[in-house]
């Protein structure tokens, strides 16, 4: 089901790159003197024992859109506290001044939340190497002199001032660029975390929101989001799941919409670049297009769950991933079912046949190659032709059952 206005131009990825390298030295010097991209900063220092009050003040946004989900383990948080105890220099955090004395945390979310949680007694120290005798201690039951020593430490910050950007659009661009550069080392970002930082926009937010869909989370074995009066109740429980911390659920949502244009996959050197470019363009989709895509996604996952239950994205029997969801099945089955959501009544009438016969004809699970036979659902093969073959398999299988 194509949504009018759901356009994806593979040539757009060259537009932003084509002219920059052709500028003369004179033009480059002119651009530099104009200060088209010139960041204005100031520095500050925060006593550790004041950080909980600062974060509770409401003036610090810990989760701007481009931030990744919290990922530090208790051992990592504990080692930060140990670094303060032995006075190891800690890199500064980076803040963006949104309005006067109001800030977004660009880099340093893990450090700030670890400090606050330690002062709030949210975890006991563990995994310490230099101060093993402090393992099991919280802030409140640290020996007095150690606690006083921690309180005397400071966390430095570099603040990107509001006057750095002349427009809202330029501010968003600069924040995303700085965040991406700051996170290019250390705890490496996943491809989706990088997209979240560099291609933030309304479609990116849309994918994050859709990742909370109950049917989708059941189908992929993800923990459910639990809300009360609009407040997320189980974030710590969700953060125990590495796939959630790495935003793998959000990437799956993006894949569904990008693979509606899978014919263009061969124009890209990798799936990652294909997804990057699609998200970058989809951020410009109209609200009507996004609403139409939302309806398609929600109807698709609901119908798949009603027919195939939690086994929907499992591989055929005899394969290694036969009891866990895989992208190799997710991508084509989502595309095929999305084409027939207007036939929901017929599909539900044939649900038992569809469920039982998904991989019944083993002969159709092989692609005839020139030198060998390849398994159709072998995840190693992800070219446009392989994706197309898998979608055709499910298209044919569903239509055969519906017409039987």
Task: Judge whether 219 and 325 are in contact, CB under 8 Å.
Answer: yes
Helix (H), strand (E), coil (C) string for 23-38: CCHHHHHHHHHHCCCC
Mean pLDDT check: name the lowest of 45-54, 146-155, 185-194, 238-247.
Answer: 185-194
pLDDT interval class at 371 (50, 70, 90): very low
Specify the residue for token string 């530099």. 32
Sheet containing 60-61, strands listed edge to edge, beginning at the edge strand earlier in sequence: 41-47, 154-160, 93-99, 102-107, 60-61
* Alpha-helix residue ranges (DSSP H) falling in 153-190: 168-182
DSSP, residue by residue, 64-129: -TTSPPP---HHHHHHHHHHHHTT---PPEEEEEEETTEEEEEE-HHHHHHHHHHHTT-----S-S
Question: Does position 335 have pLDDT exceeding 80, yes or no?
Answer: yes
Give per-residue burial for 222-239: e unless 16+ CB within 10 Å, then b: beebeeeeeeeeeeeebb
> Which pLDDT belongs to residue 199?
80
pLDDT interval class at 47 (50, 70, 90): very high
Question: Does position 309 have pLDDT exceeding 90, yes or no?
Answer: yes
368 contacts: CB under 8 Å, gap ≥ 6: none
Mean pLDDT check: name the lowest of 184-198, 215-229, 255-269.
Answer: 184-198
Task: Judge whether 42 and 302 are in contact, CB under 8 Å.
Answer: no
Degrees to nearest 5, angle at CA 392 with 387 and 397: 135
Q: Specify the length of the chain in residues.
A: 404
Task: Give me the numbers of helices (H) and strands (E) for the chain, helices first please.
Answer: 19, 9
Tens digits of per-residue pLDDT, 193-213? 878 877 878 999 999 999 999
Mean pLDDT check: name the lowest of 13-27, 95-109, 326-340, 371-385.
Answer: 13-27
255 contacts: CB under 8 Å, gap ≥ 6: 275, 327, 330, 331
Pick the more confident residue, 42 or 46.
46
Cα Rg of the chain, angstroms: 25
Q: CA-to-CA distance for 369 and 258, rounded, in angstroms?
A: 27
Pick the more confident residue, 230 or 311.
311
At residue 348, the 3 state secondary structure works out as helix
Cβ-based burial of 259 (10 A; exposed 0-12, middle 13-18, buried ≥19): buried
> Which pLDDT belongs to residue 19?
44
190 contacts: CB under 8 Å, gap ≥ 6: 246, 247, 248, 251
Question: Does position 321 have pLDDT exceeding 70, yes or no?
Answer: no
> Which pLDDT belongs to residue 27?
67
Beta-bridge mates of residue 107? 94
Q: CA-to-CA distance for 351 and 304, rounded, in angstroms?
A: 10
pLDDT mean over 74-102: 90
DSSP one-letter code for 383: S
Q: CA-to-CA distance for 248 and 293, rounded, in angstroms?
A: 20
Pick the more confident residue, 166 or 106.
106
Mean pLDDT check: name the lowest of 118-127, 152-161, 187-196, 245-254.
Answer: 187-196
Could you tell me the sign of the dihedral formed by the alpha carbons of 119, 125, 127, 132, in that order?
Answer: positive
């Amino acid at each position: 089901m194509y949504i009018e206005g759901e356009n994806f131009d593979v040539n757009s990825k060259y537009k932003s790159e084509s002219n920059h390298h052709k500028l003369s030295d004179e033009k480059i010097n002119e651009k530099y003197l104009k200060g088209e991209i010139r960041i204005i900063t100031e520095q500050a220092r925060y006593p550790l024992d004041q950080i909980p009050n600062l974060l509770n003040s409401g003036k610090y946004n810990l989760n701007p859109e481009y931030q990744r989900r919290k990922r530090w383990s208790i051992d990592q948080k504990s080692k930060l506290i140990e670094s303060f105890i032995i006075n190891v220099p800690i890199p500064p955090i980076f803040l963006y001044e949104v309005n006067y004395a109001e800030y977004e945390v660009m880099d340093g979310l893990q450090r700030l939340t670890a400090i606050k949680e330690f002062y709030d007694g949210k975890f006991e120290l563990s995994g310490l190497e230099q101060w093993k005798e402090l393992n099991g201690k919280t802030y409140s039951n640290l020996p007095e002199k150690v606690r006083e020593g921690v309180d005397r430490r400071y966390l430095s910050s570099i603040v990107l001032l509001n006057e750095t950007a002349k427009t809202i659009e330029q501010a968003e661009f600069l924040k995303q660029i700085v965040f991406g550069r700051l996170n290019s080392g250390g705890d490496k970002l996943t491809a989706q975390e990088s997209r979240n930082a560099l291609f933030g926009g309304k479609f990116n937010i849309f994918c994050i929101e859709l990742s909370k869909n109950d049917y989708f989370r059941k189908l992929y074995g993800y923990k459910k989001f639990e809300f009360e009066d609009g407040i997320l109740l189980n974030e710590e429980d969700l953060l125990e799941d590495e796939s959630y911390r790495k935003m793998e659920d959000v990437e799956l949502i993006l894949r569904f919409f990008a693979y509606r244009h899978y014919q263009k996959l061969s124009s890209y050197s990798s799936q990652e670049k294909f997804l990057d470019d699609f998200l970058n363009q989809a951020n410009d989709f109209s609200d009507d297009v996004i609403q139409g895509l939302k309806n398609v996604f929600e109807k698709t996952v609901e119908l798949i769950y009603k027919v195939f239950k939690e086994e929907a994205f499992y591989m055929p029997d005899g394969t290694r991933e036969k009891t866990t969801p895989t992208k190799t099945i997710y991508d084509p089955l989502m595309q095929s079912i999305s084409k027939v959501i207007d036939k929901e009544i017929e599909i539900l009438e044939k649900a038992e046949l569809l469920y039982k016969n998904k991989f019944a004809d083993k002969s159709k699970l092989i692609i005839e190659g020139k030198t060998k036979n390849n398994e159709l659902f072998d995840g190693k093969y992800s070219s446009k032709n392989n994706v197309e073959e898998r979608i055709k398999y499910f298209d044919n299988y569903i239509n055969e059952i519906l017409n039987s």
